[in-house]
Amino acid sequence: MPVSLRRLLALALLAALAAAVLAGRSQPPAQAQSLAAERASAARLRAAVRAEEQRIAATRAGLAEAQQRLNALVARVQRRQAQLADTEGRLVEARVHLSRLQRKEATAKHTLRENLVASYKAGRPTFVGVVVDANGFADLVSRMEFVKRVSRRNASILDITRDARAAVFRQTGRLEDLRTRFSALAKSAIADRNQVAVLRGALLQREAQQLARRAGAAARLATVRARITRIERQQAAAARAAAAAASAADQAPRPPAGAGGGDVVARVVAAANQIATTPYVWGGGHGGASGGYDCSGSISYALAAGGLLASPLDSTGFMSWGAAGPGRRITVYANAGHAFMIVDGRRYDTSALSGGGTRWSSAGRSTGGFVARHPPGY
C-alpha cells in the first residue's frame, strides 16, 4: 500500500476518534434529561415547602392573635374565679349572720313569750294596786319603776323580735341572690375554660398538620436533591472520563509525514487510546474481567489491535518477543517486573497514570535494566 494512502488512513482514523469524543461531549446523555427532570421536581418541591412555610407563618400569626384572645379569656376566668371565691366567702358570712339573726329572733320570741305568760298570770298591775300594796313612799317609787321597766323591756323585746324577723327576711333574700350569682359565675367560668380549650386544640392541630405537610415536602425534596447529587457526580465522572479520553488522544503520538506502516501503528495507537485512562489492575488484560490493565496487559491490548501480537504476554514474555533492539516506530522495554512501550517518541506506561491520568507521556524514563524489543519492520 502506498505511503500516502497509509497516511491518509491513519489521519482518517484519528479524525474519527476525535469526532467520536466530540460527539460524546455535545450530545446530551440520558443522565442530562434525568437531571433536568429531577431539578424541575426539586423546584416544585421547594415551591411547595415555601407555600407551606407561608401557611405556617399565617397560622402562627393567627396563633399569636388567638393567644391574645386566650390570654384575655384566661384573665377573665381568673377574675371570675376570684369573684367566685369572694362570693363564696360572702355567702358563708351571710349564712353565719343569718344563723345569728335566727338565734336572736328565737331568743327574743322566747323571752317575750315568758314575759307575756308571767304578765297574764300576775295580772296587769294598776296604779291603785301598786299604791295600796306599797310599804311606804320609797317602796311605792320602787314598784312604779319596776312596772315601767317591765313595760319598756316588753316593748323592746317586741321591737327586737320584729327587727330580727325583718333582718332574717332580708338576709334570706340576699342569700338567694348570692346563690344565683354564684351559679351564674360558675357556669360562665366553665364556658370560658371550654372555649379556651377548644380554640387552643384547634389551632395546635392545624399547626401540626401544616408542619407535617412541610416535613413531608422537605423529605421528598431531600430525596430529589440526593438523586440530583448522584446524577451530577455521575455526569462529573463521565466528564472527567471524556476529558481524560480527550487528553489521552492529545497525548497520543501523531503519525509523522512519510512514515511507513501508518495503518498498523495507527491501529496500535487507537487501541492504546481506548484504555489509556483505565486504572492499573495487576493481572488486568490477561484474561477475565478486571476493570483495568497492568503494564504488560495494556501493551498486549494495543499491539494485538495492530495485528502484532496473537495473545497477551507478561513483562517476562516481552523480553523475548519480536526482534531485538529498538524499532523505528514501536519499541517495547521489558524486564521481569515491568514493561512499557515507546511509539513515535511517546511513552506508553502505566507509571504515567499518576502524573496525568493517562498512560501516554512525552517525558522519558531510564531504560537501564530493560530489554529493548520491537515488532519486525516497525
CA–CA separation, 78 and 40 (whole Å): 55
Residue of 253, 285, 293, 290 lying closest to 270 (CA atoms)? 253
The Cα diameter of the chain in Å comes to: 187
User: What pTM, to 2 d.p., does this model score?
Assistant: 0.41
CA–CA separation, 192 and 364 (whole Å): 93
Residue with cell 422537605: 218
Q: How far, CA to CA in Å, does 325 sit from each of 81, 282, 336, 346, 367?
A: 112, 27, 17, 17, 12
Residue of 276, 278, 312 lying closest to 292 (CA atoms)? 278
Q: Which residue has the higher pLDDT, 335 or 232?
A: 335
In words, the CATH class of domain 252-374 is alpha beta
- Assign 250 a pLDDT band (cuts: 50, 70, 90): low
Starting from the edge strand earliest in sequence, which strands make up the sheet with 330-334, in order? 323-324, 371-374, 330-334, 339-343, 346-348, 360-361
pLDDT at 114 over 70: yes
Predicted pLDDT at 353: 86
Predicted pLDDT at 2: 43
Predicted pLDDT at 183: 79
Burial of 265 (0-12, 13-18, 19+ CB in 10 A): buried
Long-range Cβ contact pairs of 180-185 (< 8 A, separation 24 or more): 181/87, 182/84, 182/87, 182/88, 182/91, 185/80, 185/83, 185/84, 185/87
- Assign 255 a pLDDT band (cuts: 50, 70, 90): low
- Listed in sequence order, the residues at least 6 apart from 140 whose beta carbon sits closer than 8 Å to its beta carbon are 130, 131, 134
pLDDT at 316 over 70: yes
pLDDT at 104 over 60: yes
Predicted pLDDT at 348: 94
- Assign 370 a pLDDT band (cuts: 50, 70, 90): very high
pLDDT at 372 over 90: yes
Predicted pLDDT at 350: 93
* pLDDT tens readout for residues 41-76: 888 888 888 888 888 888 878 778 777 877 887 787
- Assign 94 a pLDDT band (cuts: 50, 70, 90): confident
Average pLDDT, the chain: 78
Predicted pLDDT at 297: 93
Predicted pLDDT at 145: 72
Q: How far, CA to CA in Å, does 336 sit from each of 319, 372, 374?
A: 8, 13, 17
Predicted pLDDT at 286: 86
Rounded to the nearest 5°, which phi and psi values hold at 333?
-110, 125
The H-assigned helical ranges of 136-260 are 137-251
- Listed in sequence order, the residues at least 6 apart from 227 whose beta carbon sits closer than 8 Å to its beta carbon are 38
Predicted pLDDT at 306: 92
- Assign 304 a pLDDT band (cuts: 50, 70, 90): very high
